Amino acid sequence: MPSHPMSRLRLLLAGLALIMAPALQAQDSVIVIDPDAPPGDSTVVEGGPPSEVVDELIAAYNDSAATRTQGDVTFPEGSSFTGRLAHFRGSLRLAGRISGPVTVVNATLYLLPGAEVNGDILVVGGRLIRSAGARHDGAERIFWDAAPVLRSPEGTLEVRDRRRPLGDLAAARASFQTGKVRTTLSLATGGTYNRVEGLPIVFGPLFELRLTEGTRARLDMRGVLRTAGGGAHLSSDFGYSIRGEIRSSSAGIGGRVYGEVAAIEDQPLSAAESGWSAFLLQRDYHDYFERLGGEGYAWVRPVRPVRLEVSLRRDHERSVRATDPWSLLRNSDRWRRNPLIDDGHYFIAGVDLTFDTRNHRDMPSTGWYFKARYEHGTSDDVTPISLPITIRPPVPVGGGYGFDKLSLDFRRYSRLTPSLRLNARLRAVGWVGGDRLPVQRRVSLGGTDLLPGYDFRAFTCAQPGYSDPADPALCDRSIMTQVEVRTRLGLNLGYRLREKEGGRTGRFIGIEEADLVFLGDFGKAWLAGDGPGQVPVNRIPSLDEWEADIGVGLDTGVIGLYLAKALSGGEPVKLFARLQRRF
């Protein structure tokens, strides 16, 4: 692997160019039905198989009148078949005459020269590859994403049990209907664990009222019980969030009042992942502040992939201290301090634009995702912490403080074959105008989510001679590119339980399938200005100053284990785990 920074850049840009490039044209002799291509005569669905499609294919496969095949099967030229044909796994190659519907589950269907199919075709979890000279009379539907099914000992298909997310393991909900109002009572852990609140217990009711056929009103009232005890300098051991909203499928308006502990989002690592790390290893990868106030917002969705939201919020933002909650390992260690913030009352006006064509929110395989957020903040009573002038110029106090921040997140998910995927991400965030950002809105790089080949907050923009045990993020701006290649592996490491009644196949204990992931990251965080160690405000750093890493991992869908190595700085290989996709 080349070690020169420009060589690393070329590799990552090559990956980006590959993922953004149009799909290659197929040869004249073969037509590949591609879910990412515009539909022609076939109806091609970009998303994963809807539940009704899964029900349909199970019914078709389990039909007693259907002929079931499995593995690699060929109907040779000159052969003839009449009836329902259902195939599971492997490949189905047709060169003869088929009269009847064809259902293919988690396999690829080949229509070879001379094939003639009179009947509808449904392919789920594979492709349809049609050669010149093949004929088909009927509808075609193709879903590349695999169907969540398994084959029972009796030869029928069943829906495979889906594992619950780890964040839902300690949650209880109950719903009931009273007239037109549906009520849901919930008790959960808040999905995280941190060094300020400990384990937050979230509870309360959700009321939903259908106003018209497409319009609903919601009132969500949640209380938060903080279990860490005193010492955090919180205004109360009890937090709250009350949200009211009226929404339809294309627009909504709402408001919220709250008293909550908010994470400084300089690292996009999820709250659940940071919580498990804190609970198990006493490593909390977020920083926190208390936020009390209210907000109003409105949003519209002019077309399905696009969402535009405007919001106005007034917060009282306060510094809080780290406490000493219990952790499973390293409990005798001392927690990292929680950094001080620039306390004060803030008015925040925000505009959010989202474009999302992904086929799945958490585990996408195709589609585009773009999110931009612009926010303008002001404060008349900010109390800034003391920072060297080489990090931040003096902040005006007594009124007139205002700043502008912009966040961009652009992602492309490409499925090259049914088992091979190429994903890319460009993320940029930071100060764009006005006074410099408050501490609670500054950024850094390094750690499990961004540049995992480096230590947490390896790049904070702290200047020589400045030291803070809290290790706060101090950069004005950061930019990051990430590329990964995923290929699906069938592992079958484990065993399957059997149900007591009927001998049906039960849940699989272990790892059935996993993604082998190759990754690369390339980014930089910096201070904007004309001083030493700063970059002019109208430029980004030279590419030979960016940091990079490469890695490999195995993602089971529930947990992923990775190895990453920094390409500069002499960092050792890092082993890390993720409870969700990297992006």
Report d(CA 97, CA 63) in Å as an integer: 21
Instruction: Give the Cα separation of 259 and 287 in Å (integer).
Output: 17
DSSP, residue by residue, 162-212: PPPPGGGTTEEEEEEEETTEEEEEEEE-TT--BTTTBS-EEEEEEEEEE-S
Dihedral over alpha carbons 243, 248, 250, 253 (to 10 degrees): -30
Alpha-carbon separation of residue 486 from 24, 204, 362, 453, 511 (angstroms): 20, 40, 15, 19, 17
| Whole-number Å distance between alpha carbons of 187 and 189 | 7
Largest CA distance in the chain: 89
Distances (CA, A) of 443 to 64, 264, 265, 331, 479: 61, 9, 8, 29, 10
Q: Which residues contact 466 (CB under 8 A, 6 or more apart)?
A: 387, 388, 391
If residue 149 lies in a helix (H) or strand (E), which one and from where to where? Answer: strand 149-151
Where are the domains positioned within the chain? 34-159, 166-578
Q: Residue 316: its pLDDT value, please? A: 97
Contact 579, 559 (CB under 8 A): yes
CA distances from 18 to 80, 93, 166, 343, 416 (A): 43, 31, 35, 46, 10
Parallel, antiparallel, or unpaired: how do β-strands 108-111 and 97-99 relate? unpaired
- Cβ neighbours for 188, distance < 8 A, ≥ 6 positions apart: 170, 171, 172, 201, 202, 203
Give me the tens of pLDDT residue by residue for the chain, a chain 583 residues long.
Answer: 444 444 444 444 334 433 343 333 333 334 333 333 333 334 444 345 777 888 899 999 999 999 999 989 999 999 999 999 999 988 999 999 999 999 999 888 999 999 999 999 999 988 898 898 899 999 999 887 788 888 887 888 888 765 555 555 567 888 888 888 999 999 988 778 999 999 999 999 999 998 988 899 999 999 999 988 777 788 888 999 999 999 998 999 999 999 999 998 767 788 888 988 999 999 999 999 999 999 999 999 999 899 999 999 999 999 999 999 999 998 889 999 999 999 999 999 999 999 999 887 888 888 999 999 999 999 999 999 999 999 999 999 988 999 999 999 999 999 888 789 999 999 999 999 999 999 999 999 999 988 999 999 999 999 888 889 999 999 999 999 999 999 988 877 777 666 544 444 456 677 778 999 999 999 999 999 988 889 999 999 999 999 999 999 999 888 999 999 999 888 899 999 998 899 9
Nearest CA-CA partner of 264 in 398, 439, 419: 439
Which fold is adopted by the domain 166-578? Porin (2.40.160)
**This prediction's pTM:** 0.76
R_g of the chain, CA atoms, integer Å: 27
Residue 243: the pLDDT is 97
**Can you give the pLDDT at residue 564?**
97
**3-state SS class at 531:** coil
The pLDDT, as a whole number, for residue 558 is 83
Three-state DSSP at 15 gives helix
pLDDT, residue 80, reads 94
Using DSSP's 3-state secondary structure scheme, residue 296 falls into: strand
Ramachandran angles phi, psi of 260, nearest 5°: -145, 160
Contact (Cβ atoms closer than 8 angstroms) between residue 199 and residue 325: yes
pLDDT at 178: 86
> What is the predicted pLDDT for the residue at 35?
37
